[in-house]
């Protein structure tokens, strides 16, 4: 009975962590689904968002959950501008160039953070960081429970947005058939930038959910984004439900492999899953075609 409780606790914790992974992956898969490129700057943007949330708390005393209301629109604008003013014009419509530009941006952002804030790891102290909820047989940390709920609220909002608004419909149209969308008068550059903005806003919200119980340093995003890559590949590139389910799945896998094999191998396990999925079924669980 004792071991079963530990097992269930590990699975529940994995689901809570996985939800935040899923939100990072959601941004990535959204961008891939429409622009058909992997945004290699995603991790660096996550680091930047974590720093933003950190300083919002330290300098302005802004609670991370409130900061999300500010940072999400701010990062939406940042993402929009990056795509509209940098990635789009610079890459001359060539996919290989687009990849390189996002890689270049990630190098610049990450090293700018390193240059400005050094490699120190920082944390914030919020009163509720260690508060838990008693389930009778185990305790769950409240901040991560909040994170779980928010992620699903964001996913639902995103679904409604994509389903029922004109912009959402335009985004889906461009994802399906770029040329056709262009012919009926959709501004593809605008849609690309909107999508990039939405993906970046997801990252900002994820950062705000993470910061109460996590830490920030210039390279922290890199670890996350490799997990996010795995989730996106596992769930199928461009698939939103795939990102959510993949995220939860990876969270549980990481938690369980940490339980059985120790902390350091948990990451390695994720990479091995990643490579295995790419090699065996690169379309993932929910992807249409490579």
Footprint on this chain of other proteins (rule: CB under 8 A): 32, 36-38, 40, 86, 89-92, 94-97, 99-101, 103-108, 110-115, 118-119, 218, 226, 229, 233, 264, 267-268, 271-272, 274-275, 278-280, 282, 290
Name which of 3 and 264 has its Cβ closer to other proteins: 264
CA distance 47 to 145: 22
Cβ atoms of residues 220 and 50 within 8 Å: yes
Phi, psi torsion values for 266, nearest 5 degrees: -55, -45
Sort strands 132-134 and 139-141 into parallel, antiparallel or unpaired: antiparallel
**Other C-beta atoms lying within 10 Å of the C-beta of residue 48:** 24
- Residue 108 Cβ vs other proteins, minimum distance, rounded to whole Å: 4
Residue among 1 and 118 whose Cβ is closer to other proteins: 118
Shortest gap between Cβ of 50 and other proteins (angstroms)?
17
Minimum distance from CB of 119 to other proteins (Å)?
A: 7
Q: How far is the CB of 16 from other proteins (least distance, A)?
A: 25
Residue 100: CB minimum distance to other proteins, A: 6
Residue 110 or 254 having the CB closest to other proteins: 110
Tell me whether residue 37 or residue 188 sits nearer to other proteins (CB atom): 37
- Residues 87, 196: contact at Cβ < 8 Å? yes
Specify burial of residue 268 (Cβ count, 10 A radius: 0-12, 13-18, 19+). Answer: exposed
d(CA 120, CA 98): 31
Separation CA 209–CA 54 (nearest Å):
11
159 or 271: whose CB is closer to other proteins? 271
CA-to-CA distance for 50 and 205, rounded, in angstroms? 9
Quick one: 205 or 220, whose CB is closer to other proteins? 220
Q: Which helix (H) or strand (E) holds 255?
A: helix 240-261
Nearest approach, Cβ of residue 239 and other proteins (Å): 15
Burial call 242-254: b when 16+ CB within 10 Å, e when fewer: bbbbbbbbbbbbb
Residue 229 Cβ, how far from other proteins at the closest point, in Å? Answer: 6
Give the helix/strand (H/E) hosting 166: helix 166-176
Going by C-alpha positions, the residue among 170, 191, 183, 153 that lies closest to residue 26 is 153
Nearer to other proteins, 61 or 92 (CB): 92
């Amino acid at each position: 009975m004792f071991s079963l409780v530990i097992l269930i606790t590990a699975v529940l914790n994995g689901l809570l962590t996985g939800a935040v992974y899923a939100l990072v992956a959601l941004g990535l898969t959204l961008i891939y689904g429409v622009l058909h490129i992997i945004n290699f700057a995603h991790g660096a943007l996550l680091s930047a968002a974590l720093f933003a949330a950190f300083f919002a708390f330290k300098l302005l005393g802004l609670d991370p959950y409130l900061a999300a209301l500010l940072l999400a629109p701010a990062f939406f604008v940042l993402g929009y501008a990056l795509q509209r003013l940098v990635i789009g014009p610079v890459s001359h419509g060539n996919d290989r160039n687009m990849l390189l530009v996002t890689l270049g941006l990630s190098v610049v952002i990450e090293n700018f953070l390193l240059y400005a804030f050094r490699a120190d790891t920082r944390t914030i102290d919020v009163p509720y960081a260690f508060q838990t909820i008693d389930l009778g047989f185990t305790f769950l940390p409240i901040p991560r429970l909040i994170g779980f709920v928010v992620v699903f609220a964001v996913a639902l909002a995103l679904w409604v947005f994509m389903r029922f608004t004109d912009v959402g419909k335009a985004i889906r149209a461009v994802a399906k058939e770029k040329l056709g969308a262009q012919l009926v008068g959709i501004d593809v550059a605008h849609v690309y930038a909107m999508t990039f903005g939405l993906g970046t806003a997801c990252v900002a919200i994820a950062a705000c959910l993470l910061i109460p119980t996590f830490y920030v340093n210039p390279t922290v995003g890199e670890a996350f984004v490799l997990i996010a890559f795995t989730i996106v590949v596992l769930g199928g590139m461009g698939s939103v439900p795939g990102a959510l389910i993949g995220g939860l799945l990876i969270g549980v896998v990481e938690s369980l492999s940490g339980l059985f094999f120790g902390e350091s191998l948990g990451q390695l396990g994720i990479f091995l899953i990643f490579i295995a999925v790419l090699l065996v079924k690169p379309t993932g669980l929910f992807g249409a075609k490579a």
